Structure formats: structure tokens, C-alpha cells
Structure 1
């Protein structure tokens, strides 16, 4: 039951005793709401990492043995690389010792002894361990006999052994762990060695050149990897920290009846005991000094979702002045501790963010059901709180814990934004954040610190990780259900009309991401469509949120410049939501997001909350749907598909010869049609990359496939009669009067299209599309006769002439894109 994997550990860390899985399954309420809960962990990459078990897992023995061999392959491969690194570190030792006896020594004899203290012993220990392990797994190859050839870089060693069920390596690991004491001397001496290296790099150019260009071969093709002396000196620290984790992974995948099970358990106990002693002593060490003379400081921390091979796992991310540290909060006994996961130096760190794609419909269903369960837990909690008369009953505490577990699951598994971190060392990590606002804050903080970080030293991760408990500023995951302040929250419907923006320095396509806080029962993030390329984007889009306990509204402005596929976050801001000052009428607000000012209107309607739908909200189709229904779904007067296609044609199709006459590729038009019906945001992205004739063809197809024409059939006879009026002024008045009588959506969409076609005709010398040509193309699609009429030649003439006359009107009214709002101005 993977829901409890991360949640249980975090709840235990704060002294909360979570309900057991049996308790959860025995709850009639939860069983009725979420009967499939036991299947959560079987969803591939979305599965959260299970906490460390107290006993090996109960997988099939054959599966366990297969996983065990994968672990052993990785151990052997990493041991080979580590030995190469130790050999590289020891390469200059003889030369430095020899120079110590000369008149111009690079290092003194005492300094050489300090710098290389216990390193030869570590190499001998690991060489013996590597040889013994390779002999067990691969008897045909031993150290020094083609070890490079026996190790495939992608597949690990080629294993030749008999009796897989009885392959015993426990004695090799137990012997190795019993000699870990060699590391104690190295760890105690590490800081002194680093100080000598740093000092000599500043005072002796010969040593600096040596220390900055240590080379090691790390692959079978003999490709050299460049290290610094300090980086190599840190390798043993990094290696010994991983010993317990490797042993645990190996023991976890060893069947209980295997001969190695007891031996590996003892090796794990000895390793854990050794590391516990090292951690206690490391806390007494002095903070690591950076090369520029500043102490390492914690700049920011918070909970993120770490994306790795094992899945998506809740982690605590720490930003220091010179590095990023990712750690897992664990509960060792009664004391909360951090376990090291990974770190990246800030020097040369590159960042890239993207929005995550929507999960499968099956997984969306699980998210929806989790939200329903969370809603019912919250309602049950409120009922128990009312009856408890101030005392916290056992039932209240139990419901609260279940609510926290649900929110952690949603925090870990809900689609979110990803931040890719790429180090110059070649290492990369990906973290996910549920909020674009939070991601932007992290991105800005990291980039600012990267700009300030000139040089770094390998950190003493034993010391840094153990100090996280004392230094952390964020004490717990961002769970709304554990916040004690229940005042100043809003519950009901929050309407956000994003209207326009100004202040852009260059034309771009932009959108505004709007987020609210509160419980995860309902969608907390929505965003506008991409605007046309311009410096004054206009959306006039209404975003509706069902909010439960919201306090703040977050706005993020995102641009995409021409010929640049990377989105650029221009600015962000936050608005406090005060229920005493929220408005049942629209209130206009102007917000500053960086150098861009965004105008929007807000309205709040409090009401009792209904349970969230168990069915994921899917986008309604737009093709072959009455235009009034589409406009109602989008809360606009001109459907987004019409606006998007028109804006794209005007951006790059006004000079295109035969635009609206030459048809685009049928495959591209059908792809756009499918995208508009299923994922509007994807459709807008596709518009920018397909041939512009496919865009114009999609617009024509939309009008052609309307079940009811844009100009209703009942007006055909009246329009036909108006064409017979001899007096041009009377004829024009009659046609305009008929246009004004059309339904609001039809009238404004027609006006929007007519003004667009007039702008196309203004470039007729280039695109060869006159008003007459355009009327011929669009007339039959926009105006259709009643079924009873049979004179086809007369019908086509009426269709073309009506549109042609409308295109010629000098006093053609402007189109309204959205309904007028009853608003008051409020500058902020």
C-alpha cells in the first residue's frame, strides 16, 4: 500500500503515530470511497518510494535473486571506478615525497603524510574486496586479468556462476565491513588534508597546476576524466557514506532462506554502528570554509518531489551558498534525522523548467478519487470537532492523520512543474513542484546564488547532512491540513477574469498562470491560453476556482519569444484573499509582475462546497458543436479557436499568396482539429509550428462543420430580400439591422472574422486575396439556406454577396470578445 511509504515517515518524524494499513482498510468510510486503494503502488513511475523495511520484502524468490544480481553488478562496477579514482589520487604521492627532500619542496614530508593519510590502506582494502567479489561472481576474470573487458559499462559484469540460489557473497561483505575502521582515521584527518591542499594551491603554482588537472580513466574506451585534487580527496568520504545503503539494498533483495541473509544482516548492523559513531563525531567539526573565505550558509530550503529511477519521492531540498543538498527525513528511534540523497555544486549549474504532461486517464481517476476521499475525511473531521467540545478525541486525531496522508500523496503524485538541474560534472537531477510560483522562487534563488558562487570545495556531507535538522527553516511538508490558523480563509467560488497586460519590451506569446492555496480537494492551478505575438497581449478569459480554505492567489507571467521554444518567466506576484474584503461584484485589479502590469477582475461567491467530481474534467470538443455552447463553456463571446487561428494567420500569413484559397495539408488540419477537441493548450502550440495554410484551413473547417451556420438559416430569406433593395443606403441599413439581430456570440464572432478578412484584403497585392475572393471562400460556410430551398445558383450568389457587402461597410461595428463586467476599479 504505497500511499503510506513517504507519508508515514514524515508523520513519524513529527511525533505523530500514523494509522496502520489495517486500520485504513478497516475504515468503512474509506473503503466505500476508495475500494481500489491497495492498487496505488502498481502505477509505474508514479509510485512513491517505500520506506526501508524491517525485514526483506516478500517478493517472489526468483525476482529477489534477479534484483540482487543487479545490485551486485552495480557494486562491482562502482568499486572498479572508485579504485581508479584512488589510484589517480595516489599517483603524485611518490613524486611529492621525493621533492620533499630537495631544496625546493612542493610539500614537506609532514604535509605529504597528512594529505595522503590512510589513502594507500583504503586502496588496498578495496582492491582486496573487489578481487574477492569478482572472483565470486565471475571466476574466469580476476583483478589484473582483463577486468576492463569483463565489465560492460551498460550491462555490468558478465556473470558465469552455478547455483544462483546458493551464490554466497555475505562473507566478502562481512570481512570488508569489519575493516571499515581504516576509514575512521581518514575521516578524522580529512579537514587537515583539505586545509593543506587549499593553502598550497594558493602559495605554490606547481602544486596548483597539479591539483587542478588530475586525470582518471573511467570507462572501457579509456576516455579520461578530469578531477581536482580536492574532489578526489572527497571520494572516500562519499564512498563510506554509501556502504550502509548498499548493504541494505542487497539484504532487502536477498531471500530470507538464502545463506547470505544472516551474514548480510550482521554486516549491515556493523556498518550502521560504524556510521552512527562517525555521524556523532562529525557534528563537532567546524563548518567548512569556502575558497573565498566565507562560511557555507543555508539560503533556502523546502520540500520538493525528487524524480529518480525508483519513482517520485518527497524530499527536503537545501540551498547553500555553494551547493544544493537533497535529503530524506527519517525517524531513527525517537529523533528525526536526515539521510543524504544527492548534492550538486552551484558552480556552472544549469537550470531548465517545463510543465509536466497530464497523466493517463486511469491515473487521473485515482487522483480524483483521492480528492473525494480527502473531502469526506475533512467533513467527518469537522463533524467530530463540533462534538468533541474542545477536547481532541481519538477519532479526531485519527481522521486528521488520514487527511495528512492523503494530502502528502496528492502532493507527491499530482501533475506539476519540473525543474531540471544539470551540473558541469555531468550529473543531473530533476525535482518537481506543485506550484509554478514556488518553482520560480526556487529558480531565482538558485540562479542568484550561482551568480555569486565563484568557487567551491567538496562538502563534508556527513557534517552538512547531520546539521540539516538544526539549520532547516521549513519544518514540515506544505500541508494545508496541519495549519493551526483557521481564520481569514475563503470557501466557495473564486472567479478570476484575466484581461490584458502591458509593459512587454518585445513582441511575444504569453500566458498567465493563476494558482490558489488551500486544500487539494479541487484544482488549484489554471492558466490562460497563449496570446498572439504582440507587446500588449489580451486574453479576456475567465478562470473559475472552487476554493476550500484559500488565503492567497498567486500570479505568474510567462512569455515565449519568437524562434524560442523555451518559456521565460517574466514576473510573479501574490494577492492576499481576505473574506471580509472579497466582492460579490467584479473588482478590477492591476498587478505588477516584474516589468509587466496585468489587469484582471476578481469576484468571490461564498457557498457550501459540494464533493469534487470522481470523473476527471476533460475538455469538451469544439468542432461540430453549436458555437453558442462552445462560447458558454469558455465564458467568451468569440470562441478561442477562432481567435487563435485568426491571430496566427495575421502573425505570419498576411503575405502568403492564396491564404484561405490554397488549402493546407489534410493531415495537419486533422491533427489541429483533434488537438482543439482534446487539449487546447497543445493545439495553440501546434499552430505555431504547422504550415500557415493548415491554420487557415482549420479555421475554414471549423465554420464549415458548425451544425448550425454562424448566420442562422432563418435569416437567409431576409438577407436575400435585402439584396434586392435598389437604394444602397436603405440596403446597408437593412443588412446592419439584420446583423445586430443575430445572437450575441454569432454577431460578435462574425464581426471579429469580418474585420480580420478586411485586414487580409489590405495586403491583396501580396496575398492575391481581395474582398471578393474572401467572400467567395467564406460565404457558403457562414450563411446557409433553409433545407426547403432548391435553387443552388441563387443560394451561392446570396451567400457571397451578403458577406461581400458586409466586408465593404465603412461603419462596421467592432466585436466584443467577452461580456461586459459590472466592475469597480481597484489599483494594487
Structure 2
């Protein structure tokens, strides 16, 4: 029986004999409790993590000075602090199991409060032991970070090749904040090492073992820990990105043998040799490290006398560390912290970058949609070594929130010029990047060009959006958000609408806590810039993409609808276009061709939008992946399922180098232009101006007395003419609300101002001679066969108009427009005699006879009961059978 270091009597223990195998000198008698604990500690710490013999011996000597009474005090203290410790366990549950297996083992033990029986000199000696352990673990951690960063440069370089191991975006995700963490800890390690070297000298004792001497209170390290803790926010970004990084590593490990080889054989130099890690294991190291910070500081504070100059600084560092872990835990539990009505909990449902319109100024903001509220924040990207921050802008409760969206597609000349200037500069920077990519000599210059390109795209992202989402709160607070994409706006609107219809009562938030948690909660870290996320390979499209919108079906009731088409890629050119609005119909037809100049396009988005009472409503939407292998210069027909609505369209793609963006991206005029030219520009056989006017007259003018005979006001007709010459969609919108007589006047004006009459002039005399055929059937057969020589747009437009006029005459008991009346109105516009002296053969007739012939020819055609069916558009399904694509 002997006396233990803690003053209690004990018997020899087998654990001590076992421990001697690990190099422990058992000259110091221990009680049962101290013996077991110390043996476990020295075996696990030293064997697993290579802690030096001197550091381990000194540490265990200090531990064995603790009596059983203090062990009881530790238990009580742990119970008190259990609530604080649960922060770490909630966020990182596996830490409770591995707390003694971490490289930070020697400093992560929860030491009791400073014993009163220890002198200040003894405390300072133990403090030095803890600091040495921290320094050793920092060195190990830095080696692990270096091992993690080792392949970063190679992976980043391969991202710009034709066969990248990881894309640029994936590289950014995997190594997010890791270089900054390495630099932060390198600075801390260098400072701590210099302080310890200056204050501690190692001498060789007479027995061959190392002894330590120090200068006591002169050793100051609190400022180093404060500096480290002031930058600990970097871990917040790493934690928020961790799951995404691990997902990238796992997916690429499974799919790419090159990355699998790399990820399973990461090497770290541990001083005496090399340790093999997996990529995922190294990614976990920062996560493991940050959870130990509070424990390390608590251990150090427990060995620092209250009167020491470091005490206050270490207390503040401990406060910052606990506050950070608390914030991380709050952010991870934010979804279940606040109880809302219906037993629901506040959750982050969606977030992303939008443009906030306030007092006429546009500002890029980060928007967060929670279960019960909408939070708008200002993102402040921190400089290197500091934490990104979000600052509160405004929030709106979802309860009772009203919203509506609209589009302002017309831009002022100044805005148009500004956007064109930005796009031109972006195009030139893009060309420079292509040139720099071919040579390794211009790496720095390429980085500058890419940075400028990102800045230009941010400006474009702020000033180009035209889709408005207006939010109206019951409290009277209103806000307007702008989106560059109708598809994106509809996703936000749907998410907001679903939550507002649930009628969840809003719990007043702690705005400071909620805004602070945004850094960790965010699902979107960067604005949607194509310059940073582009995949520059054969998968992306560069050239002209043509989309022909044919028809739609599946509407629940007749509606006036249009189709909006959007493409992605660089912002050098317009990325969206819309068809004109159809008339009220269950099966609307457009047969309208939309053309896009695309660079880097990979996705096509299609939306079907209904119009009613001046309000647009998205009836359905779908996204299509653009594959260059399946697209070519021949049309390929598809049917898209946009919810309940089905849209039939055709795609055609022609790859070619692109010209710089043009500032005159205006629609070609249609009036006073040959009909063949207009048809070719629009990709149709019957010009849209003819079809739209005919549809509008049939919608609301069939019962109008004197339709086509009584014209509208000249000013209204000229306004509609100008609209058709500049913007088809705007023209059709005006057409829907214009006087119906102005609509009929526009149709007559179009035919009247054709440079060449719809029925070619060279057919005038042949048709005049056919009027002499007495048998009406023979006469019609001859006249119809004569039209076969007409160009396709002329012939099909003529048949399309004749069928419309026949339908008008069916209502002649109401509108008083017989076939003869209609022929009298349209005859002189549709058929013109040859000009005398231009070499035309045949008889010359006077003007009165010309008018009679013009009227009689059109009247004969109108009397035909079996007119050929008019084809309004070109065939677009010549390359493949119809395909059906679901959303």
C-alpha cells in the first residue's frame, strides 16, 4: 500500500504494469481512479496521435495532481455546461464519439477549474504544456490542409481543358474557403511558435531528459487567439458549403476513375513519415477542428492565473468561440427553432439573388423565403480572412401578402444604349479570354479579363431585368422585385403563393439572429453569372437557335395566350422572346418562329401565359436540355408538357461564329415590303399581320355593320401600322384593344401598300380573259389552276383571306357585307393591272374596265365553294418524328 499523488491510499494496479509497455515510468504511485484514467489517456493519445513523451508526461503529472474531490467538481461542472456543450453535439453529433481521437486530444480534455493548492509557477508550467500541445496539433492540422490543397492547382488547370476532371464550379465548391483557412492557421501557428521559442528555452538535464524554463508572466499569447477568433467566421462558409463539397467528391469518385485514384490516395507528411487519407477524410478535418476551439480555449484559460495579462483576452476569445458555435447551431436549427401556427416550424424554403426596385434605384439583393416571411438582405462579400456578411434590408410577413407580376419589355433609348455598351464590352472581354486560354503566358491577364467580365455581367444582371413582381403587405408596405427571367419569377411566385395560401401566422423574427444565420443557411452563394459557371465544351451551343412555336392544347377554357421562350448562356444577345397573343381559343395556333443568337446555351425554357382582364397568368412551364448532338440545321419537332398544357414546337440549330452584339436588334418592317420577304423573315407562309388582323376581326367584328367598308380613324390605323413594323407582340397587344374598324383598316392597308399586288400583275390579262368563260365551273377551275404559278406566300395568303371573307359574308344579314361588297372593297388592292409601257403584252383597258375586272376576279374566287386549304406555316418536322418531352 502506498500514497497516491492526490493524497489517497491505494494498492498496486495491473493497469500500471500494462501501461509500462507504452513507455510510461510508474515511479509515481497512483490511486485506482487516477491510474485508470491516466493509463487510458496515455495509451490513446500517444499511440494514436504521436504526442511527444515530454509533453505527455508533463500533462499527466498535472492531471494526477487532481484529487477525487475535484473529479466530483468536474462532474458537477459538466452538468452545468451540458446545455452549452449540446451546441456542438447538435451540429456535429459524431464529435461526442471521437473527442479523444482527434489531433487536438491533448488540449481538448475538459480540465477542472484551477486548484487552489497549485502555485502560480505550477499553473504557468502547465499552461506552457497546453500551449505546446496546441502548437503540435496546429502543425498536424496545417499538414492536413496542405495535403487537401495539393491537387487544387492541377484540378483548376484541367477545368479549362476539353476533358476536365472537375469543372471550374466544382473546383470552387470542393476547395471553398480552404486556402483562407490554411492562411489563417499558418499565421496563428507562426506567431505562436515565435512566442514560445522566445520565452521558452530547452536545456538538457543531468539525467538526459529535457527540462523547461520560462519567464513566467511575460509569455503573452491572448492577442494571437483573439486574432484567430476574429477570423473564425471563415469556418461558417466552409460549414455551409461542406455538404455540397462532399457530394461533389462522392459523385466524381464514383463517375471518374482519374478522380477516384486521386481521392483515395491523399498523402500528408506527419514528420516521421507519410499518412494516407481519402479526400473526404481530409475535407472533414476543418469540421473536426472548429468544434474543438471552445474546449481548447477553456483548457488554456483554466491554466492561466486570473492576474495574468492574457486572462481577459482569453476570456474574450472563449466568448467569441462559444458565440460562433452557438450561431452555427442556431443556423442549423433555425428551421425548427421557431414554432408557427398549425404546428409548423420556420424553415428556409428558397433563396437567391434578385434586383430590388426602390425609389427608382435598382440594387442586387439576396432574397430569403422562409415558411412565414420574406427576408431581403444586402450581401457584403468580405475581404480575405473575414466572414461574409448579410445586412438587413426589409422583410414582409407572408400572411395576407398579395402579389402580381407584369412585364415591361419596352426600354428607353438610354437604357437600350447602356445595355448595348455593356454587352459589347462583355463580348470583347470574352474574345480576349479565348485568346489568353490558348497561351499559358497570359494567366494573370486572363484572370483580370475574367474579373472584368464578371463585373460587367453583374451590371447587366442589375439593369436588364424587365419582369416585375409586386408585393403588397396588409400593413401597407410594398416592394417590387425584378427578375431577368419569367421562368425564375414564376418559380418564386409559386413558392410564395403556396406559403401565403397556407395562411401561416408570422412569428416576429429576431432580425439580427435571422440575418446573421443567412451566411450558413443560404443555398445560393453566388449570383447566377454565366462567366463563372460556364461549361466551355462541346455540350454548349454557339450559333443560331431557331424555335418555331406551332400550337397548344389542353386549355380548360378558351383563352388568349402567348408562349415565352428563354435560353441561357452569355448575355451578349437577347435571351428571351415571345409569340404574339392568340385569340380566345381552346387550341391556339401561332406558327411563329423565334430566333436566338446563343453563346454557351445549354437550357431552353418554355412558358405558356394566359391573358385575362389585363392580368397575365402562367399556365404552365417546362425546361428542355439543349443537346448539340441531337440538334442540326433541319427542323426537329417536339411536344412539351407544361403541366396540363401541351405546346407543339420545332427546333433548329446552326452552329457558327457569332458577330458582336448589334444595337439595332429591331424587328424588320412588314408594311411596304414584298410579301415573300416578310414570309421568309417570319418563317411562315401567311404573314402574322394578316393572320392577327383576321383572327381579331373574326373574334369581335363579324357582327359589325359595314366591316371592311367603314374604316377606322387614320391615327389609330397608323399607330397599329407602326407597331407592326417595330414589335409584333406589342402590335398584337394593341390590336386586342383597338377599334375593330381600325383592325380591318390595317388589313386593307397592308395589301394596298404591297410593292407588288398579292395576285401577280402578269396574271391580270389572263384572268381578264377567263371572265369570258360562260360555264362558271370551268371558269373557276381555270382561274384556280392559274394561281399555281404564284409564289407560295402569295397563293396561301390569298386563299387564307378568301376563306375569311367567305365567313364574313355568312353574317351578311347582320354586317351587311355580301360577297360582292367584299370583292368591291378588296379587288383593287389584291389585283393590279400592268403598267403601260413596261413591255406587257395584251389588250390595254381603261381605268373603269380595270376596276370591273379587279372586282369580278375576286368575286369569282369568293364564289368558289371548294377553295384549297391555306397553309399558314412551313413544315418544321422534316428531320424526325414528333417527340414528347415532359417537364
State if a TM-score over 0.5 links the two structures: yes
Which runs of no fewer than 5 residues in structure 2 stay unpaired? 1-319, 837-843
Q: Which residue of 2 aligns with 1:238?
A: none
Aligned pairs for 1:412-451 (under 5 A) are 412-451=462-501
Residue pair 2:534, 2:600 contacting (<8 A) in 1 also: no
Structure with the larger RCO, 1 or 2 (CA within 8 Å, 6+ apart):
1
Q: Which residue of 374, 379, 399 corresponds with 1:347?
A: 399
Q: Which residue of 2 aligns with 1:603?
A: 652
Q: 1:790, CA displacement in angstroms?
A: 5.6
Q: Which residue of 563, 578, 584 corresponds with 2:627?
A: 578
Q: Which residue of 2 aligns with 1:272?
A: none
Q: Which residue of 1 aligns with 2:408?
A: 356
Q: Which residue of 2 aligns with 1:697?
A: 745
**C-alpha separation between the residues in 1 aligned to 2:381 and 2:542?**
36
Q: 1:545, CA displacement in angstroms?
A: 1.3
The 1:582–1:622 alpha-carbon spacing in structure 2 relative to 1, beyond 3 Å, is closer
Q: Which residue of 1 aligns with 2:350?
A: 300
Q: Which residue of 1 aligns with 2:169?
A: none
Q: Which residue of 504, 528, 548 corresponds with 1:497?
A: 548
Q: Secondary structure at the match of 1:393?
A: helix
Q: 1:405, CA displacement in angstroms?
A: 0.8
Q: Which residue of 2 aligns with 1:616?
A: 664
The answer to whether residue 718 in structure 2 is matched with residue 641 in structure 1 is no
The answer to whether residue 637 in structure 2 is matched with residue 588 in structure 1 is yes
**C-alpha separation between the residues in 1 aligned to 2:835 and 2:641?**
55
Q: 1:582, CA displacement in angstroms?
A: 2.4
Q: 1:281, CA displacement in angstroms?
A: 11
Q: Secondary structure at the match of 1:335?
A: coil
Q: Which residue of 757, 760, 782 corresponds with 1:712?
A: 760
The answer to whether residue 611 in structure 2 is matched with residue 567 in structure 1 is no
**C-alpha separation between the residues in 1 aligned to 2:759 and 2:770?**
15
Residue pair 1:357, 1:415 contacting (<8 A) in 2 also: no
Q: Secondary structure at the match of 2:736?
A: helix
Q: Which residue of 847, 850, 862 corresponds with 1:795?
A: 850
> How far does the alpha carbon of each residue in 1:712-760 deviate from its partner, in whole angstroms, 9 at most, with x for none?
2222111111112233333222211222211111111111100000011
The 1:345–1:583 alpha-carbon spacing in structure 2 relative to 1, beyond 3 Å, is same
Q: 1:289, CA displacement in angstroms?
A: 3.2
Q: 1:324, CA displacement in angstroms?
A: 0.4
Q: Which residue of 417, 435, 443 corresponds with 1:383?
A: 435
> How far does the alpha carbon of each residue in 1:29-76 deviate from its partner, in whole angstroms, 9 at most, with x for none?
xxxxxxxxxxxxxxxxxxxxxxxxxxxxxxxxxxxxxxxxxxxxxxxx
Q: 1:813, CA displacement in angstroms?
A: 0.7
Q: 1:454, CA displacement in angstroms?
A: 2.3
The 1:484–1:700 alpha-carbon spacing in structure 2 relative to 1, beyond 3 Å, is closer
Aligned pairs for 1:606-755 (under 5 A) are 606-613=655-662, 615-755=663-803
Q: Which residue of 1 aligns with 2:574?
A: 523
Q: Which residue of 1 aligns with 2:266?
A: none
Q: Secondary structure at the match of 2:880?
A: strand
Q: Which residue of 808, 812, 816 corresponds with 2:863?
A: 808
Residue pair 1:347, 1:455 contacting (<8 A) in 2 also: yes
**C-alpha separation between the residues in 2 aligned to 1:679 and 1:559?**
19
Q: Secondary structure at the match of 2:544?
A: strand
> How far does the alpha carbon of each residue in 1:172-227 deviate from its partner, in whole angstroms, 9 at most, with x for none?
xxxxxxxxxxxxxxxxxxxxxxxxxxxxxxxxxxxxxxxxxxxxxxxxxxxxxxxx
Q: 1:369, CA displacement in angstroms?
A: 2.4
Residue pair 2:641, 2:884 contacting (<8 A) in 1 also: no
Q: 1:585, CA displacement in angstroms?
A: 2.2
Q: 1:514, CA displacement in angstroms?
A: 0.6
Q: 1:362, CA displacement in angstroms?
A: 3.0
Residue pair 1:282, 1:462 contacting (<8 A) in 2 also: no
The 1:627–1:310 alpha-carbon spacing in structure 2 relative to 1, beyond 3 Å, is closer
Q: Which residue of 879, 882, 886 corresponds with 1:823?
A: 879
Q: Secondary structure at the match of 1:711?
A: coil
Q: Secondary structure at the match of 1:481?
A: helix
Residue pair 1:317, 1:326 contacting (<8 A) in 2 also: yes
Q: Which residue of 2 aligns with 1:52?
A: none
Aligned pairs for 1:301-340 (under 5 A) are 301-309=351-359, 311-333=361-383, 334-340=386-392
**C-alpha separation between the residues in 2 aligned to 1:811 and 1:586?**
32
**C-alpha separation between the residues in 1 aligned to 2:814 and 2:795?**
30
Q: 1:609, CA displacement in angstroms?
A: 2.4
Q: Secondary structure at the match of 2:587?
A: coil
> How far does the alpha carbon of each residue in 1:661-716 deviate from its partner, in whole angstroms, 9 at most, with x for none?
12222332222222222222222112221221111112112212222221122221
- Higher mean alpha-carbon deviation, 536-545 vs 282-291, is at 282-291
Residue pair 1:364, 1:616 contacting (<8 A) in 2 also: no
**C-alpha separation between the residues in 2 aligned to 1:582 and 1:688?**
36
Q: Secondary structure at the match of 2:615?
A: coil
- Normalising by structure 1, we get a TM-score of 0.64
> How far does the alpha carbon of each residue in 1:128-182 deviate from its partner, in whole angstroms, 9 at most, with x for none?
xxxxxxxxxxxxxxxxxxxxxxxxxxxxxxxxxxxxxxxxxxxxxxxxxxxxxxx
Residue pair 2:547, 2:651 contacting (<8 A) in 1 also: yes
Q: 1:347, CA displacement in angstroms?
A: 0.4
Residue pair 2:535, 2:600 contacting (<8 A) in 1 also: no
The answer to whether residue 607 in structure 2 is matched with residue 556 in structure 1 is yes
- Higher mean alpha-carbon deviation, 537-546 vs 317-326, is at 537-546
* Number of equivalences: 548
Q: Secondary structure at the match of 1:823?
A: coil
Residue pair 2:426, 2:457 contacting (<8 A) in 1 also: yes
Residue pair 1:375, 1:611 contacting (<8 A) in 2 also: yes
Residue pair 2:702, 2:815 contacting (<8 A) in 1 also: yes
The 1:484–1:690 alpha-carbon spacing in structure 2 relative to 1, beyond 3 Å, is closer
Aligned pairs for 1:185-264 (under 5 A) are none
**C-alpha separation between the residues in 2 aligned to 1:521 and 1:714?**
47
Q: Which residue of 1 aligns with 2:588?
A: 537
**C-alpha separation between the residues in 2 aligned to 1:331 and 1:678?**
43
Q: Secondary structure at the match of 2:438?
A: helix
Q: Which residue of 2 aligns with 1:244?
A: none
The 1:484–1:620 alpha-carbon spacing in structure 2 relative to 1, beyond 3 Å, is closer
Residue pair 1:307, 1:429 contacting (<8 A) in 2 also: yes
> How far does the alpha carbon of each residue in 1:291-328 deviate from its partner, in whole angstroms, 9 at most, with x for none?
44433110000111110115111111110000000111
**C-alpha separation between the residues in 2 aligned to 1:772 and 1:576?**
54
**C-alpha separation between the residues in 2 aligned to 1:484 and 1:612?**
19
Question: Computing the radius of gyration over CA atoms, which structure comes out larger, 1 or 2?
Answer: 2
Q: 1:645, CA displacement in angstroms?
A: 0.6
The 1:308–1:450 alpha-carbon spacing in structure 2 relative to 1, beyond 3 Å, is same
Residue pair 2:465, 2:485 contacting (<8 A) in 1 also: no
> How far does the alpha carbon of each residue in 1:620-659 deviate from its partner, in whole angstroms, 9 at most, with x for none?
2222222222222212111111111100000011111211
**C-alpha separation between the residues in 1 aligned to 2:721 and 2:433?**
46
Q: Which residue of 2 aligns with 1:237?
A: none
Residue pair 2:578, 2:729 contacting (<8 A) in 1 also: no
Q: 1:576, CA displacement in angstroms?
A: 0.7
Residue pair 1:625, 1:707 contacting (<8 A) in 2 also: yes
The 1:491–1:454 alpha-carbon spacing in structure 2 relative to 1, beyond 3 Å, is same
**C-alpha separation between the residues in 2 aligned to 1:662 and 1:728?**
31
RMSD: 2.1
- Normalising by structure 2, we get a TM-score of 0.60
**C-alpha separation between the residues in 1 aligned to 2:732 and 2:768?**
38
